Amino acid sequence: MSWVAIIVTFALVDNAILARLLGVCPDITEQGRMKGAVQIGIAMTILMTVSSIGAWAVEDFILAPLGLSFLQTPLFLFLVLGVGFLLELLATRVIPGFAPAPGFSMAEVGINSASLGIVLVVARSDMTGAESLVAGFATGVGYFLVTAMMIAIRERLEVEQVPRFLRGFPLHLISAGLLAYAFMAFDRAFLARILGS
């Protein structure tokens, strides 16, 4: 698979939220404002990128040669958690003036089905290390894009008159459903068209 194909597939065609349905949790339905979405989106993109290459290394150099692939779930979960802690520690040490928002922890935000899901997808595919890295990055970008779109839709719907029983979570899910149908425009035929094959 070419680099462009990997990026388009993981960011749009098989989007983590709208196609694979990973990370559909209170975070996506009840997120705060756009600023918070940007913070979480960037954190998730970095986390997914580093976790994906980590998962590839663990699977290819430790689990598969030793025949321990059945340990994928607990090991990858703690890999994502560890990467989250390390990135947060690194950010507070390296970036001057960096202070995570109150209640924001990269490890806690990162422990969701989207980050663990993409790590498992990468480890169970036959991708190389570089391809895993790009796939993780593209998934993070796709996650960021959809999260931002959901926030924008939510902010717009807040000022609209909506029946009381639809307000909040039900309307967010229905919006996400319609967005998922819209994203179906990014399909294999689209991929073939932009790649010219």
Residue 100 · residue 36 · CB < 8 Å: no
CA distances from 179 to 21, 100, 108 (A): 12, 31, 27
Q: Is 162 helix (H, G, I), strand (E, B) or coil?
A: coil
In the bound complex, what is the minimum distance in angstroms from residue 176's beta carbon to another protein? 5
Residues 121-140 that bind another protein (CB under 8 A): 121, 124
Which helix (H) or strand (E) element contains residue 119? Answer: helix 113-124
Stretch that binds another protein, among 92-100, 133-141, 173-181, 186-194 (CB under 8 A): 173-181
Task: Tell me whether residue 29 or residue 39 sits nearer to another protein (CB atom).
Answer: 29
Residues 79-108 that bind another protein (CB under 8 A): 81, 108
CA distances from 189 to 7, 64, 98, 160, 165 (A): 15, 34, 43, 36, 39
109 binds another protein (CB under 8 A): no
Sites of contact with another protein (CB under 8 A): 18-26, 29-30, 70-74, 77-78, 81, 108, 111-113, 116-117, 120-121, 124, 164-166, 169-174, 176-181, 184
